[in-house]
Amino acid sequence: MYQLLIKGSEIVDGTGAPAYRADLAVKDGKIVKIAPEISGEAELVIDGTGLVTAPGFIDMHSHSDVQFLLDNRGQSRIFQGVTSELSGQCGSSPFPCPREHMDRIRQYVGRNVEEYASSSLEEFLNKVKRDHKDMGTNLLPLVGHGALRCGVMGYENRKATEEELAEMKALLKADMETGAWGLSLGLGYTPGVSSDQEELCELGQVVADFNGIITSHMRYQNLRTPEALEEMYEINRRTGAHVHIAHFKASGKETWGKAKEFADNVLAARRSGIYVTADSYPYTASSSGITNSFPKWSIQGGTQTAIGILKDPDRRGTLISELEEIFETKEDGEALYVVTTGGMCPEADGKTIWQISEELHISMAEAAAKVCVDTDAKATCISFAMCEEDVDVMLSQNEFCIGSDGVSYSLSPEDNEGKPHPRNFGTFPRFLRLAREKNFCSLETAVRRMTGQTAEYIGLKDRGILKEGMIADITVFDAKTVADKATYENPFQKPEGIYHVFLGGEAALLNGEQTEKRLGQFILNK
């Protein structure tokens, strides 16, 4: 008897090959047969008439690292058809750290999950197992460079010593041996912003030795993007490590119209032999902490540096002057929206910097400074920094895969603080909709960019393609109606057109409703 039998659907197998009508059978968690007609009994039979059967979507850029510890449902992912997430991005992960500096990693991980801050990936996995923590989707862990540097050096704004670099390399090597997929860089954030090319290449060699991936929130995503790309290319030139550009974009008004130039830069590097890949998401806004809108020099040494400057009468004016340039017009202020301050500055919650400045009768620079200081730089914001034409350019690049840059959230507003970015809830159905409406690519190519291509870039061998012998992570959807519903005003909305989601052949989503099963697991690079 089969575990699962999907009858009469269009098979879009994740390779980019033309769709074809067939039945698909699963037994013991794996695909065992794909054929025009499959007879025999099954524990669960799905009528796939008029629907597409595809590999479960793989999120190339996820921040769901610890969210399952708070809510194991993974709702914002399961309802999108996502089955696996490459987590630990932008330099941030809950490990590793030298044991004598565990206080650093606890502070780095933040509230609610400090007890899961760990000295290594192995220790983190053991804590999760100890506490019988379940998860809704699979997580593929990366080692965060920011966590690594914080654990060894704190937030010091300087070059790593030989001894410190050796310690970082040893911690990274241990986690790669445990099964991490690679290293993530957050070079626009502290403490990653303080690293140099030598440090990145030394760590990159460790990753290369394990055939891993280095994902990067680059140092610049503006007019200096070519410079930031060169920093990544150099890692590949010196070490051979696969480098991956996260949430590739043209950010900031002065950069609008540059997306094709930036994309062509990457494609030319690929043709020249640089092993570089990229992902993007289908939205014109990003989301990060309040200091992500501050000049980089002001967070060298940590976000506390910016707070210290703003509290120092002798230095405050310099930073305020630069913030006045950043928030020069009403449109600039309206482009930065405060999602939540965690209750520390309630007058700012759910408002733009422009609205805050108007209500408090202060300049927009002063409003941004107030939110930063009052929240200890922990306010979460949405920044409308891209134009639609540039987003479309990135989405039309068939060699780029899709990453949400999001978190696994509950769909209930009362379970969340503020209104998180809709990318958390709608990235993958939105890309399918836009590909259909704007003719970015065929359905087969769109699916490949969310499944087989992503698996290839990560190095994931047993998922991402529908063929016999592969793990049965499967998403069944209506290609004609699949669409995102989440908006900035109301992100807590389920997408349309996603009907069934299976992990290992077991139903996580059935007839559009989540089951009680929590089927996710940590997938390690073994």
Name the least confident of 225-229, 304-308, 464-468. Answer: 304-308
Kindly report, residue by residue over 483-504, the tens digit of the pLDDT: 999 999 999 999 999 999 999 9
For tokens 């610890």, the residue is 66
What pLDDT is stored for residue 69 in this prediction?
96
Q: CA–CA separation, 44 vs 506, rounded Å?
A: 9
Kindly report, residue by residue over 280-324, the tens digit of the pLDDT: 999 999 998 999 899 989 998 888 999 999 999 999 999 999 999
Q: CA–CA separation, 243 vs 213, rounded Å?
A: 6
Q: Write the CA distances from 268 to 69, 149, 245, 392, integer angstroms.
A: 42, 32, 14, 19
The answer to whether residues 421 and 376 touch, using CB atoms and an 8 Å cutoff, is no
What pLDDT is stored for residue 225 in this prediction?
98
Q: Does 519 map to a domain?
A: no
Mean per-residue pLDDT, 2-11: 98
The answer to whether residues 368 and 345 touch, using CB atoms and an 8 Å cutoff, is no
409-435 as b/e: b if 16+ CB within 10 A: bbbeeeebebbbbbbbbbbbbbbbbbb
Q: Which two tokens stand for residue 484?
A: 């995102």
In sequence order, the β-bridge partners of residue 506 are 503
**Same domain as 279, residue 140:** yes
**Same domain as 186, residue 110:** yes
pTM above 0.85, yes or no: yes
Of 384, 412, 442, the one marking the end of a domain is 384
State the CATH number of the domain containing residue 47. Answer: 2.30.40.10
CB neighbours (10 Å) of residue 158? Answer: 11
Q: CA–CA separation, 407 vs 308, rounded Å?
A: 30
Kindly report, residue by residue over 158-178, the tens digit of the pLDDT: 999 999 999 999 999 999 999
**Same domain as 402, residue 352:** no
Domain with 476, as residue range(s), is 2-55+463-481+496-514
**Same domain as 213, residue 104:** yes
**Same domain as 346, residue 241:** no
The answer to whether residues 423 and 287 touch, using CB atoms and an 8 Å cutoff, is yes
Closest CA to 140 of 412, 462, 477, 411: 462
Indicate whether 223 pLDDT > 90.
yes
- Tell me how many domains the chain contains: 3
Of 353, 384, 415, the one marking the end of a domain is 384
